[in-house]
Amino acid sequence: MATKLKPVREGFTMIEMLITLLIVSSILVLVMVGSQRFSRSSLQTERAFWESFDGYWKQALYEAQYHGRSTDISIEKGSPIVFRTAQKEKSLALPRSIHPDQSEKLSIRSDGTTSPRTVIFKSDIDQRIYRLVIQMGWGVYHVDREKA
């Protein structure tokens, strides 16, 4: 008596393949959407930081020009940026995504002048680089943003 053997199935059926592709593509979409939300909120945080930095800088220039008080600015890795005059000290926290390339000491003299200097900050978002370029003279600076 001859018995019929069932053929051995090799590989996936079309339904199994479609289900697998659906699951994998769903996971990828969720990961991509989540990372975009993180980067958008982080970019907004970085923009808000630079606006706050501008306000602190302008306050230090005001103190120098109208009250004759110099301001020392300390930028150190892992610490907030500190604006220090003889009478008060203000701290500006760096966002978690921004890191200074190296520690720097800046100064706005009592007559409102500054020395030229470039301070480099690196961002974890798209490996952006921010260059804080302080021009010689009356406390003028600008921030260049570029992708690495």
Range 125-147 average pLDDT: 87
Quote helix, strand, coil % in the chain, to nearest 5: 35, 30, 35
* 50 belongs to a structural domain: yes
Residue 26 counted as domain residue: yes
- State how far the alpha carbon of 97 is from the alpha carbons of 19, 53, 69, in Å: 38, 16, 32
Q: Could you read off the pLDDT of 10-20 as tens digits, one per residue? A: 777 888 888 98
Q: Which residues span the domain enclosing 130?
A: 18-147
Confidence (pLDDT) at 1: 58
* pLDDT: which is higher, 7 or 43: 43
In a domain, 12, yes or no: no
What sign does the CA torsion over 76, 80, 83, 87 have?
A: negative
pTM for the full predicted model: 0.72
| Residue among 134, 130, 124 at smallest CA distance from 146 | 130
Contact 42, 88 (CB under 8 A): no
Instruction: Provide the pLDDT for residue 34.
Output: 66
The total number of structural domains that make up the chain? 1
Tens-digit pLDDT profile for residues 41-52? 788 889 999 999
Residue 6 lies in a domain: no
Look at phi and psi of residue 127 and say left if phi exceeds 0, alpha if psi is from -120 to 50, else beta: left
Does some domain include residue 124?
A: yes
CATH classification at residue 73: 3.55.40.10
